[in-house]
Amino acid sequence: MSKQPPAAAGTPIDVVWLKKDVRLHDHGPLLSIAQSNRQCIILYLYEPDQLSEKTVHGSHVAFVNEGLVDLDLRLSSGNSEPTATNSDIQGDIYEHKFQCITVCHAGAAFTLRSIHKQRPINQILCHMESSHLKSFARDKAVRRWCRHEQIPIREMNQTGVTRCLSDRDDFTTKFNKFLGQPIHATPTKMQLDELRARLVKIEGDGIELHGRCHSPMKPSDMQEIASEFRCDRVQRQHGGETKAMEYFRSFLSSRGANYSTGISSPNSSWTTGSRLSPYLTWGHISLRYVIVITKQKQEELRATKKKAPSTPSPWLRSLASFQSRMHWRSHFIQKLESQPSLEKQDQCLAFSHLRRQPDDFNEKYFEAWCQGRTGFPFVDACMRSLIHTGWLNFRMRAMLVSFATYNLWLDWKKIAGHLARLFLDYEPGIHYPQLQMQAGTTGINAMRVYNVTKQGKDQDPSGVFIKKYVPELATVPDEYIHEPHKMPASLQKKCGVVIGDGKGGNEKKSIGFFQTQQSTTILSTKECICYPSPIVDEKITAKSAKDKLSAVRKQDSTKREAEQVYLKHGSRRTNGDRDGAKPKALNSASKRIKVDNAQQSLMKSWSQSQNGGASNEKQEQAKLPAGQTSDCSDMKLLHSTENPVSASSVSKSPLITSLFSKQNNANKHAEQKKKEWNCKTCTFLNDKPLGLVCTMCGSVRAN
């Protein structure tokens, strides 16, 4: 180990600011300081403003802590191999004393300022984060401060998401370019030994840092988290790069073979799914590393297949399917990066009034859903399994959201916090676009209303999953396990389970009764265990919800707005994918976009010829990418009656004739549109031109 002289006070230092990237492999910032000869601090912060988000749960912090201990152990032992196993982490992680990582319970800008006052910062190295609004705000504040102090901040990319992406068409090219860059080498043992010698000794060097933590901070001590969420989950996955690598290895060597066929059922997906999501979210494994190593495995498999083409193997199909999902990850995160307001706002504003009318929110339904006491065994099992483990497969997550937003008619914003706290892998960039997609408010995806009873029968035919997580129903015969309320009273008695509140009461009483109980407690009357009867009629509620959504989807204004959403966010893959954004749902809109683009260029050249080449500001504006207009202004322009082109000035070529007749229709349409007005309160499009109040929400017309 080469010894460095102690830091002279005032020698500038580098700061590696760890965020959601607590790992050693493919870590640009850590490699950069490992290769340098500069003094540095490796900093991790428990940030009060970020912890106070309603989405934070103690299990998230506990998972992060395991990652910190794992990394600290590796840095301090010089054990740089990502395949190394760290048995030390199995002990009480809260006993661990940080050797290499400086951890503080304090805000980012505040801590960096404090360090800089005591030892000038030469540069800050970190990864770019595309997360919720509070983290955007935090990053902006840090960047502002860096600019003011003239401290370079290098934010490296680890997701393949592009900041300030002006055109969604460029996403894939840029993403592939990101993937094509070499994986950052893991620092060698020698580099780590040298790095350790260059770490600033905080107290030893007389540096005082507010909120310094010498050991991981327990979630139970974090006052910023609401007290009921400062706990952990019994059966969650454990954090750390070592664990992440174990999961990845076992996936590629055995578990992943039946990925394609196994991921739909909550029984099989537990093992056939990669289970990498929390590691990817918290940065304990790198996205690029997973994609590249999987690609290598795919190449090996292809080579083997060439040698023995007749040997059947599910591997290639499974890994192709897995790779698509790895790509979707960034595809979804890009949406939030490009439009952070998706956390709070409907992607397609035409749906903003839905589920937000005065009587729409039913607190009892919400509570029953949150606790897994809806009387729909499969829904309840999924919710309770999440409560225990913090993980659920994709299909069942989608089903939970579908049930909440269609059958219970709950606003996706009301359920977002609960699910985020439950998901150990909570990733805002996937969470909000997915929530909206399942709730049907994106405007560009097909409406997916899950029949929860059918899902149960398909994915858990003999009720194994249900009986595991809804033990009240353990004695129910298989033929009734999906609809226990259909059991005759005599059979209920025989099984020792009463469906309803056990008092012969009606549904509502039943919910009230269960709502006060802990989610996993089995309730009992004197003789029997109780399980609620269904809180809603599945078919009736699904139909009513579909009708309401369809009515909005059919409106021309919705379609026009959906076009804008597609331009800004839609997947450009022509075949679409089940879980990805699906242009198919927008076929007509996509066609219209093409025509409109042609119209725009024609209109521009016509107007230029009419105005002697002077540019028409409004039409220039109409050419702006969707993301650069505050609303659908470009589409409004296209349909505006200010079109300077007259029929006589147009050539009679078939293309022009057809476009011109389309333009005439558009003009007629625009006339019609002038009579419609959007409610300022609920955004509902009212078609009564002289109406003084909104038909939907009753607000007084403001325009």
Interacting residues toward ligand FAD by CB under 6 A: 263, 273-277, 280-281, 322, 325-326, 328-329, 332, 393-394, 397-398, 401, 423, 425-427, 430-431, 434-435, 438, 579
* Closest CB 325 distance from ligand FAD, rounded Å: 4
The residue of the chain with the least Cβ separation from ligand FAD equals: 273
Judged by DSSP in three states, 499 sits in: strand
At position 503, the amino acid (one-letter code) is K
* Closest CB 327 distance from ligand FAD, rounded Å: 8
Length of the chain: 703
- Give the CB-side neighbour count of residue 308, counting CA atoms within 13 A: 6
Place of tokens 């591997």: 315
655, two tokens: 């293309």
Nearest residue (CB) to ligand FAD, 460 versus 472: 460
Q: Do residues 105 and 211 make contact, with C-beta atoms less than 8 angstroms apart? A: yes
Judged by DSSP in three states, 493 sits in: helix
Q: Do residues 385 and 465 make contact, with C-beta atoms less than 8 angstroms apart? A: yes
* Closest CB 394 distance from ligand FAD, rounded Å: 4
232, two tokens: 């952990």
Judged by DSSP in three states, 353 sits in: coil
* Closest CB 176 distance from ligand FAD, rounded Å: 17
* Closest CB 630 distance from ligand FAD, rounded Å: 28
Nearest residue (CB) to ligand FAD, 430 versus 476: 430
β 685-686/153-156 pair status: unpaired
β 212-213/153-156 pair status: unpaired
* Closest CB 269 distance from ligand FAD, rounded Å: 7
Nearest residue (CB) to ligand FAD, 332 versus 514: 332
User: Does 322 appear as a known binding residue?
Assistant: yes
What are the helix (H) ranges across 84-219? 108-118, 133-149, 171-180, 189-198
Nearest residue (CB) to ligand FAD, 217 versus 398: 398
Q: Do residues 229 and 57 make contact, with C-beta atoms less than 8 angstroms apart? A: yes
User: Does 94 appear as a known binding residue?
Assistant: no
- CA angle 164–170–173, rounded 5-degree value: 120
* Closest CB 436 distance from ligand FAD, rounded Å: 9
| Residue 440 zone, left/alpha/beta (φ > 0; ψ -120 to 50; rest) | left
3-class secondary structure for 277-329?
Answer: HHHHHCCCCCHHHHHHHHHHHHHHHHHHHHHCCCCCCCHHHHHHHHHHHHHHH
Place of tokens 């990066």: 337
* Closest CB 251 distance from ligand FAD, rounded Å: 7
Nearest residue (CB) to ligand FAD, 247 versus 513: 247
Separation between Cα atoms, residue 605 and residue 614, nearest integer Å: 10
* Closest CB 420 distance from ligand FAD, rounded Å: 7
Nearest residue (CB) to ligand FAD, 198 versus 275: 275
3-class secondary structure for 582-601?
Answer: CHHHHHHHHHHHHHHHHHHH
**Backbone torsions φ then ψ of 586, nearest 5 degrees:** -120, 25
**Backbone torsions φ then ψ of 310, nearest 5 degrees:** -85, -10
Nearest residue (CB) to ligand FAD, 276 versus 523: 276
Nearest residue (CB) to ligand FAD, 186 versus 393: 393
Nearest residue (CB) to ligand FAD, 56 versus 476: 56
Q: Do residues 658 and 587 make contact, with C-beta atoms less than 8 angstroms apart? A: no
Q: Do residues 446 and 584 make contact, with C-beta atoms less than 8 angstroms apart? A: yes
Contacts of 93 (CB under 8 A, 6+ apart): 65, 66, 69, 216
* Closest CB 130 distance from ligand FAD, rounded Å: 13
Nearest residue (CB) to ligand FAD, 257 versus 276: 276
* Closest CB 488 distance from ligand FAD, rounded Å: 37
Nearest residue (CB) to ligand FAD, 418 versus 467: 418
Judged by DSSP in three states, 694 sits in: coil
Residues at the annotated binding site for FAD? 259, 322
Residues at the annotated binding site? 259, 322
